[in-house]
Amino acid sequence: MTVVIDGTLGIDTIQANTVTSAKIVDGSVAAVDLAQPLTLGTAQNTTSGTSIDFTGIPSWVKRVTIAFRSVSTNANAHLLIQIGAGSVQSTGYLSASFNGIGVTSTAGFIVEAGSATLTQSGTISLISFGSNVWVSSHSIGRTNDGISACGGGDVALSGTLDRIRLTTTNGTDTFDAGSVNILYEG
């Protein structure tokens, strides 16, 4: 039997006291792993304004999923996700999106959106690469014409991620339908 001294459980303790049928990769669970749960943010309507911000993201976060539900704008600019540490970063991204036409951006993680009459649903995943570098991937479907967009990118932040902004490539198109939310984990 393993005695818990430093906040970890030995594999023999887990096997002797089976809790679930799940397997633990390295045989231990640290107390810090249990203190960083999967956390759902508060959904925000994308029915007005030129940007939607999520702030106060904890410093321990290693992955963020951004979920779109029928998001639309009043014009033809593409969607843009910008992240930041203390303030939103608008430079230094290497980002691309494709749905039959490829688009790129250095101002944020771009999502090819089509036109004002189209709505977007899907997810963008942001994963910490270490040293304040974040990589993205996305899969978004246009719910009213059956076209999908996929892509990805990366960016280096000057500090620890604490905010995410949804906007458009021109920064002036107004959101007019849908909602967006984030889900984050350590």
> Cα–Cα distance between 5 and 130 in angstroms, integer?
29
Which helix (H) or strand (E) is 110 found in, with range?
strand 109-111
Q: Which residues have a Cβ under 8 Å from the Cβ of 143 and sit 6 or more positions away?
A: 70, 119, 120, 121
With 0.85 as the threshold, say if the pTM is over it: no
> Cα–Cα distance between 118 and 125 in angstroms, integer?
22
**pLDDT classification of 37: cutoffs 50, 70, 90:** confident
Both tokens of residue 45?
Answer: 């309507």
> Cα–Cα distance between 6 and 10 in angstroms, integer?
11
pLDDT tens digits for 91-120?
A: 999 999 998 889 999 999 999 987 888 999
pLDDT at 90 over 70: yes
What pLDDT score was predicted for residue 3?
44
Both tokens of residue 133?
Answer: 């570098």
pLDDT tens digits for 160-185?
A: 999 999 999 999 999 999 999 999 99
Q: Cα dihedral angle (167, 92, 185, 20), rounded to 10 degrees?
A: 120
**pLDDT classification of 1: cutoffs 50, 70, 90:** very low
**Strands of 109-111's sheet in order across:** 52-55, 163-168, 79-84, 109-111
